[in-house]
Amino acid sequence: MSDSKQLALFDDRFLESYAGKGIINDKKIAIIELIANSWDAGATRVNISWPLSDGDSFSISDDGHGMTENEFNTRYRVLAYNRQKNQGISAEIPGDNREKIGSRSAFGRNGKGRLAGFAFGEFFQVKTWKNGQENHYKVFRDNTNILAFNKLGSHTREGHGTEIFIEHPVATVILADEIKTEIGMRFLVDPNFSVYINGSKVNHSDIPAENISDFYVEIEGLDPIKVTVIDVKSTDRSTQQHGVAWHVQNRLVGECTWKGTSNEDFIDGRRFVAKRYAFIVKADCLINSILPDWSDFLRSDAMFQKVYSAVHAKIKEFILDLYKANRDETFKGIESAIRPVLNNISLVAREKWETTVSVIQEECPSISESDLEKVATLLAKLEQTDSKYGLIDILSSSSIEDLDGLNEILQKWNIDFAKVVLDELESRMRLIEKLQARVSIDSTDEVHELQPLFHRGLWIFGPEYETIEYTSNVGMTSVIQDLFGVDMKGSKNRPDFAILRDSSVGLYGFHRYDDDGAEIEIDRLTIVELKRPSISIRLDEINQSWKYVKELLERGLLTKNSRVTCFVLGKHLDPLEAEETTKNNGFVKIRPLTYDTVMRRAKSRLLKLFDKVKNSPFLKETKINEYMREREQASISQLALTLPAPSALTPSATAIPVETE
């Protein structure tokens, strides 16, 4: 076996694949790359000879730093040259050019732009001079389809610079004026970087009217500040030559950049605006606010602060207008992406979320879309944890006149008030949905979870239970625990009610007060007994609730005038025992009901009330309609699906009519 070394071979497409198809094949992209190399070399002038007819040569030369033979070998000949590591992120500016140039950020990163010469011919020649010596090279592809270099000679030459030329370029149909347009839109931010094509300097007049515009910033005590906006229409590969460029007496101060006064990004460099627009600010009034080397302004200078604030406010306003359609599209995309989260927050919270996200978009245009989505998701999740106003609190704070009827209330509500009510209604619908899921299965072992849900949903049994004065009575619950010898360990975990062998019992009382406001007795008491779904409600189960009442009467916790309502609930009800019974001369009422009946009554009330609120006349022209459509799909329609079909109703459910408001 031979151990001789073999070199890798390269396909004809290697350079195109490495450098990018545009650099190798697109002459517009190629010329921009070559000019960028001159910019990075610290040039102040670039001369381009553009072929106008067959036989004309192509060349581009500059007065940049040039290269010695050693620099050519260690920089130009090295593929994937790491410019930042070896030369830094700033342009290398020759000493005699520093009179015009303060500092520059370099375009180059990996040396691919030098291959742009292949867009004009099969090979090209490079002349570069520095330190009194010019070296001449030929750059071509050898038989392995990789770069090759031949040194053609050297001689003395004063000054510094680089020239790339092709004697017989590939035919081009691009006119010189088209190239002027491309160059003008990208390299006019620095008035001391001039580009000439066939002897004619590229200037603002070479930019089409649809790509350039002006606006003025009015500042008290100063002449209007002119801002020229250049829009390349397409998106460039980088933000170089895009941003805000400050010109004072026809010289660039600092760099054209999107950086703000605190070095924060004015906008996100990944946004289309960052790679498409340049703002040239002509502010001769700031001549006394500049650092000696023109690298920046005196940031603490009062005049600079005044002008900067006004100009950037106008530029921001301009960008926000550009972003409007894009912001709307971004907002809709985020809204769609996190819709499952949004469907679980209230209308008021949803509006707060929308407002906050919109403000973030406007105030932080530099935020990326992915980061904005993360923030929006976090805000939506936080809204899920907020405590919301309940319907009870809202109604209790209304005047007596407001409570005369729902229609009258709706005429007086404002939109925020209505949203709060809609939120409460939706919360109640979700409670019903949870209850429906827990009472529908005979084998369920979750009866201990039913009582807490019913505790939150006393309103299910009728409007009289809306009052916030109806509370659980721990003292009377303890009596039942003692009476039936309940397992105290389980009861202590939830003292609001007693857990019995086959059911749970909760007692909720409403006190009567004397003239001094002291409690004197229980005025009304409600007992809610929940039977396991596997147990049918018969006479014995119904009579059991009367035993509770008798014990409370005997112990003096109730008086003969206390009104008591007992609800005995279960999945199955003996049809012969479905009627309400009374005891103690009508002061005690016992109502056996199936869970299905209770759920249907509650849903009927809620859906009708929800419909009345959302169709209130003053809400028709608001965004609530849009919310309602979403909620009807996400919540109300889901509740409707949980309603039992008529054929599935138990005999007791069909025997008791559904109550309506």
For residues 120 and 166, the answer to whether their CB atoms sit within 8 Å is yes
Q: Are 568 and 454 in contact (CB under 8 A)?
A: no
For residue 569, what pLDDT is reported? 85
Distances (CA, A) of 486 to 9, 79, 452, 501, 556: 88, 85, 18, 8, 21
Residue keyed to tokens 């003996």: 574
Which pLDDT value is given to residue 170?
80
The DSSP result for 377-408, as a single string, is HHHHHHHHHS----HHHHHHTS-TGGGG-HHH
Lowest mean pLDDT among 117-126, 249-258, 505-514: 505-514
Residue-level pLDDT at 657: 28
pLDDT for residue 76 is more than 80: yes
Average pLDDT over the chain reads: 75
Name the pTM for this structure. Answer: 0.49
Q: pLDDT tens across 454-479, in order?
A: 666 666 776 556 544 444 545 555 65
| Rounded distance between C-alpha atoms, residue 155 and residue 424, angstroms | 88
The tens digit of pLDDT for each residue in 607-630 reads: 666 666 666 554 554 555 565 566
Which element (helix H / strand E) includes 316? Answer: helix 302-337
Strands 252-257 and 243-247: antiparallel
Q: What angle do CA 354, 356, 362 make, to 5 degrees?
A: 105
The predicted model gives 340-361 an average pLDDT of 81
Structure tokens at 117: 């010469």
Question: Which residue(s) pair with 215 in the sheet?
Answer: 227
The torsion defined by the Cα of 165, 171, 175 and 180, in degrees rounded to 10, comes to: -30
Domains of the chain: 14-193 (3.30.565), 208-324 (3.30.230), 338-385 (no CATH), 401-654 (no CATH)
Pairing label, strands 581-583, 161-166: unpaired
pLDDT of residue 338: 84
The CA distances from residue 189 to 74, 203, 243, 295, in Å, are 31, 10, 9, 15
Least confident of 90-94, 192-196, 410-414, 574-578: 410-414
Amino acid at 120: F
CA pair distance 353, 435, nearest whole angstrom:
30
Bridge partners (DSSP) of residue 530 are 504, 569
Predicted confidence band at 152 (pLDDT cuts at 50, 70, 90)?
very high
Which of 79-88, 415-424, 495-504, 530-539 is the least confident region?
Answer: 495-504
Q: Identify the pLDDT of residue 489.
A: 35
Task: Mark 547-558 as b/e (b = at least 16 C-beta within 10 Å).
Answer: ebbebbbeeebb
Lowest-confidence region among 12-21, 34-43, 389-398: 389-398
Q: What is the mean pLDDT of residues 437-457?
A: 62
pLDDT at 125 over 90: yes
**CA–CA distances in Å: residue 460 to residues 294, 418, 506, 597, 598:** 76, 21, 15, 11, 7
Q: What region does 629 belong to: left with phi over 0, alpha with psi -120 to 50, or beta?
A: alpha
Residue 655 has pLDDT above 50, yes or no: no
